[in-house]
Amino acid sequence: MPSAAFGKTVANIFDAVLDERQTSTALESVTNFVGAAGAGFLLVNKFTGQISASAGWGKFTGSRADFLAHYGKIDPFRKIREQAPCGSVARLSECLPQSLLRHDEWYNDFLLKGGVCDLLDAKLHESPSHIVLFGLHRATGDVGPFPRDAQRFQALLPSLRNAARLHLGLIDIGYRSAIGRGNLDQLAAGVIFTDEHGRIIETNPAGERILQIGDGLTMRNGRILARRSFETGKLARLIADAAPAGASLPSAGCMLIARDEGHPPYVVRVAPAAGGRPGDGLPMAVLMISTPGEARVSQGELADLYGLTPAESRIALALARGRRLTELAGEFDVKITTLRTQLSSILTKCGVERQSDLVRLISNIPVIDPASAATEPK
């Protein structure tokens, strides 16, 4: 396997994760490397069941607009793949018999008319909110192996899964929206670019504030460090893996960084930096630093939104921060049976059935950070 071509393909994949403008280049690179007629990916929103994003490259001539408006909704293969385990790979022709496909609207009026007769699909990653599917296209009339080099495709799968995991993590912190607007400065999460040794090259304003505060992460002699030595060691390994100086392939990872005074830990995602960043031409890593639980809706706002009592709002927010009913019974000096009754009332008012659904609901309520709001133009 040509290591140079393999490494370039992997680098293109991570470039596309950090900058969606590179998606076509990445799909073309994968298509050519494994030997297929084309490639594409789907981002599916689990809450709505709709396709949030899609992209493709290759000989397929079907309309993306038609797919999003109609054919994606009746795609039987997509439904099968969404229910499959993460990491699984399957062929369309082996999942759905020809007797069914012969009469299927999506297959005949979209795939075949677009010049594709078969798909090889991988379910790369799944989060509580999204699913990432990746597929290779086989051209109509192609009688050779599909893909031409299955070993290369298998070798790429770990990097594709790694990239998909990073993709969904960046959606959670709003990074992809910010880079799409070309404005990382307005991103609430901290963004820090480093070389392979952890020397800081550039930061956005939020990243600079994190380093200046020095709570969990700081800078010493130009390098980024964590508060605890073992965290510094792990962070250094993640940075070295994301920006390897030798022949090693880049990879992405994440870790928690502890902070002082009971503050929620930082969630730090480390990824290979895309081309065109400060210091381009050198191996670089980008660190995206977010803080779970700090920007939550207030008790008063939660009560207004769902008609909760002050006590119910307090309980709901405590549960959303990971507390348990048994802990709250002692803290609030109430019986556990009373808390369970209040929780039942909260679930009913919020229109959810389980405590996990309540936590997800509260976590997804949009909140404006007062610090960032103060910098908005009047």
pLDDT attached to residue 259 = 86
- Mean pLDDT estimate for the chain: 85
pLDDT over 90 (residue 134): yes
pLDDT attached to residue 373 = 35
pLDDT band for position 370 (50/70/90)? very low
pLDDT over 80 (residue 18): yes
pLDDT over 90 (residue 119): yes
Residues 6+ apart with CB under 8 A from 262: none
The mean pLDDT of 148-161, rounded to a whole number, is 95
Please give the Cα distance from 332 to 179 (Å, whole number): 44
pLDDT over 80 (residue 122): yes
pLDDT attached to residue 297 = 66
pTM for the structure as a whole: 0.69
pLDDT over 90 (residue 118): yes
pLDDT attached to residue 371 = 38
3-state secondary structure the chain: CCHHHHHHHHHHHHHHHHCHHHHHHHHHHHHHHHCCCEEEEEEEECCCCCEEEEEEEECCCCCHHHHHHHHHHHCHHHHHHHCCCCCCEEEHHHHCCHHHHCCCHHHHHHHHHHCEEEEEEEEEEECCCEEEEEEEEEECCCCCCCCCCHHHHHHHHHHHHHHHHHHHHHHHCCHHHHHHCCCHHHCCCEEEEEECCCEEEEECHHHHHHHHHCCCEEEECCEEEECCHHHHHHHHHHHHHHCCCCCCCCCCEEEEECCCCCCCCEEEEEEECCCCCCCCCCCEEEEEEECCCCCCCCHHHHHHHHCCCHHHHHHHHHHHCCCCHHHHHHHHCCCHHHHHHHHHHHHHHHCCCCHHHHHHHHHCCCCCCHHHHCCCCC
| pLDDT tens digits, 172-207 | 766 655 555 556 665 667 889 888 899 898 888 888
**91: phi then psi, degrees, rounded to nearest 5:** -95, 140
pLDDT over 70 (residue 378): no
The mean pLDDT of 167-174, rounded to a whole number, is 77
Please give the Cα distance from 56 to 285 (Å, whole number): 27
Point out the least confidently predicted range of 110-124, 327-341, 357-371.
357-371
pLDDT band for position 150 (50/70/90)? very high
Cβ atoms of 99 and 125 within 8 Å: the answer is no
Amino acid (one-letter) located at 214: G
Q: Which residue in this structure is represented by tokens 């709901």? A: 316
Please give the Cα distance from 116 to 61 (Å, whole number): 9
May I ask the CATH architecture of the domain 3-172?
Answer: 2-Layer Sandwich (3.30)
pLDDT attached to residue 176 = 59
| pLDDT tens digits, 294-353 | 555 677 778 878 889 988 988 998 888 778 888 888 878 889 999 999 999 999 999 888
**123: phi then psi, degrees, rounded to nearest 5:** -85, 105
Q: Where are the domains of the chain?
A: 3-172, 183-290, 299-363
pLDDT attached to residue 164 = 93
User: Dihedral sign, CA of 75, 77, 78, 80?
Assistant: positive
The mean pLDDT of 86-108, rounded to a whole number, is 95
Q: Which residue in this structure is represented by tokens 């109509």? A: 140
Point out the least confidently predicted range of 25-29, 90-94, 300-304, 310-314.
300-304
CATH class label, 183-290: alpha beta
The reply to whether 3-172 and 183-290 are identical in fold is: yes
**CATH code assigned to 299-363:** 1.10.10.10
The mean pLDDT of 343-369, rounded to a whole number, is 81
259-289 burial by CB neighbour count: b if 16+ within 10 A, else e? beeeeeebbbbbbbbbeebeeeeebbbbbbb
The mean pLDDT of 154-170, rounded to a whole number, is 91
pLDDT attached to residue 187 = 66
Amino acid (one-letter) located at 367: V
pLDDT over 90 (residue 236): yes
Q: What percent of the chain has pLDDT over 70?
A: 86
pLDDT band for position 247 (50/70/90)? low
Point out the least confidently predicted range of 33-37, 106-110, 346-350, 365-369.
365-369
The mean pLDDT of 355-360, rounded to a whole number, is 86
| pLDDT tens digits, 282-293 | 678 999 988 765
